[in-house]
């Protein structure tokens, strides 16, 4: 193999394909130059002047750019089967995914992670996994599965595993919890993702010294800059619910900082949004529109991510790298892309068929719920989750009992509940939420980070109960209910998280449900389903709700 590569690189042996007359997007020197690219056995043999090949592709001055890398994503959050999701990513120039399958792991454990690998094994994409570190994310909720150190060690041996996924249990890290440190130590010298929203000062230093290398939770430039200065790699997130790119990139441009330790990611993005604009391609274009040098934006999307995750065979158009690249006319818009993976042009790809087992497709197991289960306990004051526009962080408010009842009747706030759906424990947390905007009926989903119990928001208990029973009937999904009628339901028949529908069908259904949610009054400042799903995640400030009750993230305790 090495002899063949050397011979091809020297122009003595014949390449499989030569891409002639290309403008090379050089992310190593942040420049562009004209050359040919010789490819053999899926690798770039050389960049220069080449003539011997089985096939010659004349690019006629088009750009050849390294393919994009999505540095942190949860495939399950697209609502699509993994193979369907990968096809959408490929169409927008992403040939490498670094995924954290903790969504399905919280429902189905190791079986769920194995399913994700199995459903993508024949797709021409580099599918890497960070082993979920926090399943469940905290002991303050009930998940479908628990991954202890033995389970993590088992997953770590799977092909395609890079390191450890986001460490969400910040208090356990800072208190030097023995079990948590054992998980971190298992992956020493490998990339370990963090999850440290609003962590600062000495606590941030303590979190980093534990061995955590990345973070994707910065929502401001001030936060991102402190993490960069502390040695962390900042993954700039632009998803469907959390859109942090503008704030961070604006600061990076204004201060002209070195962006070597920054990469782009989506975290959670709906398939419909991906179809409209892509994932990392959208990040690059938006950064350029904000005034960032195009080559710098491309570096963040390619070589930076490859270096952060130790992917030495990816990230640049240079000899020895895997032949993953994009061909296009304009590196500021990245439209009408031709995408190559291992030197092969990405053509029409058929998604892999679903692979079923009882753990994956029978995942909603709840006790019978009564109207009385959704009543608020009468007390003097109630905590209220206050949603923030285009963010998944929240603020905390308080209301007196009479004020809360009045606000519910006026539609100024809604009731929110989380129903345990894995073990039929009967656990139900009930609380109040402000800023969701729903004016009539109920919206419910079994996508509720990270334990993925059932979450429902409503203006009345009757519609909330109907929504709960509808999701029980279809074994998970999204539903909208009004005046005792089911307006629409999208079943998510894979672990209550994903659908086996083809992309076009699923996108139409997602768009339809989103439109109906907005017509029911849901605020345009939130994603009706993705943003709602994060209201159950007890590791993001300031206040959340789980199946056990209302939770104060800052004090890491339940609110009595």
350: buried, middle or exposed (CB in 10 Å: 19+, 13-18, 0-12)?
Answer: exposed
Q: What is the pTM of this model?
A: 0.91
Q: How far apart are CA 172 and CA 190, in angstroms?
A: 20
pLDDT score of 358: 54
pLDDT score of 289: 98
Helix (H, G, I), strand (E, B) or coil at 346: coil
pLDDT score of 447: 95
For 31, the enclosing helix (H) or strand (E) is: strand 31-40
- Give the HSE-up count for residue 414: Cα atoms under 13 Å, Cβ half-sphere: 28
For 38, the enclosing helix (H) or strand (E) is: strand 31-40
**What would the DSSP string read from start to end of 11-63?**
TSSPEEEEEEEEEEEETTTTEEEEEEEEEETTEEEEEE----EEEEEE-TT-E
Handedness of CA 220, 223, 227, 228 (dihedral sign): positive
Q: How far apart are CA 445 and CA 436, in angstroms?
A: 15
65 strand-pairing partners: 326
Pairing of strands 161-167, 192-194: parallel
| 503-519 helix and 82-91 helix, angle to the nearest 10 degrees | 90
User: What is the CB neighbour count within 10 angstroms for residue 515?
Assistant: 12
**What would the DSSP string read from start to end of 131-152?**
EPS-SSSSSSS--S----HHHH
Residue showing tokens 């058929």: 350
Where do the H-state alpha helices sit in 356-454?
A: 358-361, 401-410
Largest CA distance in the chain: 85
Contact call for residues 18 and 37 (beta carbons, < 8 A): yes
pLDDT score of 120: 93
pLDDT score of 560: 82
Q: Give φ, ψ of 551 to 5 degrees.
A: -130, 130
Question: Distance of CA 154 to CAs 102, 137, 157, 193, Å?
Answer: 15, 19, 6, 19
Domains (range + CATH), the chain: 2-61 (2.30.40.10), 66-345 (3.20.20.140), 363-558 (no CATH)
Mean pLDDT of each 10-residue bin along the chain, 560 residues long: 92 97 98 98 98 96 98 95 95 97 94 92 95 91 93 94 96 95 94 96 98 97 98 96 93 97 95 94 98 98 98 98 98 96 90 61 89 91 93 92 91 96 95 96 95 97 98 96 97 93 93 95 92 92 95 92
The pair of three-digit structure tokens given for residue 490, joined into one six-digit string: 């999208």
pLDDT score of 137: 84
The pair of three-digit structure tokens given for residue 185, joined into one six-digit string: 């130590």
Q: How far apart are CA 271 and CA 88, in angstroms?
A: 8
Contact call for residues 384 and 396 (beta carbons, < 8 A): yes
Contact call for residues 35 and 72 (beta carbons, < 8 A): no
For 290, the enclosing helix (H) or strand (E) is: none
383 strand-pairing partners: 398
Handedness of CA 453, 454, 457, 460 (dihedral sign): negative
480 strand-pairing partners: 443, 488
Q: How far apart are CA 5 and CA 355, in angstroms?
A: 39
């Amino acid at each position: 193999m090495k002899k063949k590569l050397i011979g091809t690189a020297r122009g003595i042996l014949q390449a499989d394909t030569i891409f002639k007359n290309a403008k090379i997007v050089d992310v190593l020197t942040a420049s562009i130059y004209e050359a040919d690219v010789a490819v053999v056995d899926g690798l770039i043999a050389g960049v220069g002047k080449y003539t011997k090949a089985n096939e010659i592709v004349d690019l006629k001055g088009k750009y050849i750019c390294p393919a994009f890398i999505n540095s942190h994503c949860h495939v399950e959050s697209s609502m699509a089967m993994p193979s369907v999701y990968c096809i959408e990513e490929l169409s927008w120039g992403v040939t490498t995914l670094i995924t954290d399958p903790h969504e399905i792991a919280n429902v189905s454990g190791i079986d769920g992670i194995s399913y994700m690998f199995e459903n993508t094994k024949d797709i021409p994409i580099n599918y890497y996994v960070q082993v979920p570190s926090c399943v469940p994310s905290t002991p303050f909720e009930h998940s479908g599965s628990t991954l202890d150190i033995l389970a993590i060690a088992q997953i770590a041996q799977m092909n395609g595993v890079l390191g450890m996924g986001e460490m969400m249990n910040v208090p356990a890290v800072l208190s030097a919890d023995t079990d948590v440190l054992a998980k971190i130590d298992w992956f020493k010298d490998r990339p370990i993702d963090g999850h440290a929203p609003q962590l600062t000062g000495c606590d941030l230093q303590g979190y980093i010294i534990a061995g955590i290398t990345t973070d994707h939770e910065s929502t401001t430039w001030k936060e991102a800059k402190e993490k960069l200065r502390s040695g962390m790699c900042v993954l700039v997130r632009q998803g469907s619910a959390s859109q942090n790119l503008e704030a961070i990139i604006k600061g990076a441009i204004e201060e002209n900082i070195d962006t070597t330790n920054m990469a782009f990611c989506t975290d959670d993005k709906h398939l419909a949004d991906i179809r409209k604009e892509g994932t990392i391609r959208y990040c690059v274009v938006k950064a350029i529109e904000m005034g960032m040098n195009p080559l710098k934006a491309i570096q963040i999307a390619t070589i930076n991510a490859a270096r952060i995750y130790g992917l030495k065979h990816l990230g640049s158009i240079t000899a020895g790298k895997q032949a993953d690249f994009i061909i296009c006319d304009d590196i500021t818009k990245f439209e009408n892309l031709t995408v190559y993976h291992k030197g092969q042009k990405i053509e029409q790809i058929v998604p892999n068929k679903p692979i079923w087992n009882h753990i994956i497709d029978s995942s909603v197991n709840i006790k019978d719920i009564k109207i009385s289960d959704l009543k608020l306990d009468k007390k003097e004051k109630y905590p209220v989750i206050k949603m923030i526009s285009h963010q998944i962080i929240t603020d905390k408010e308080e209301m007196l009992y009479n004020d809360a009842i009045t606000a519910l009747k006026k539609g100024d706030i809604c009731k929110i509940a989380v129903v345990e759906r894995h073990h039929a424990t009967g656990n139900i947390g009930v609380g109040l939420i402000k800023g969701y905007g729903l004016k009539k009926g109920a919206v419910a989903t079994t996508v509720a980070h990270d334990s993925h119990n059932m979450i429902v928001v409503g203006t009345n208990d009757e519609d909330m109960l109907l929504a709960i029973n509808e999701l029980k009937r279809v074994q998970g999904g999204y539903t909208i209910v009004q005046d005792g009628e089911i307006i629409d339901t999208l079943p998510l028949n894979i672990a209550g998280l994903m659908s086996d529908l083809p992309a076009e069908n699923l996108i139409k259904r997602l768009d339809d449900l989103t439109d109906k949610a907005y017509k029911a009054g849901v605020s345009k400042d939130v994603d009706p389903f993705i943003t709602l799903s994060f209201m159950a995640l007890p590791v993001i400030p300031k206040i959340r709700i789980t199946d056990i009750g209302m939770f104060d993230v800052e004090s890491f305790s339940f609110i009595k």
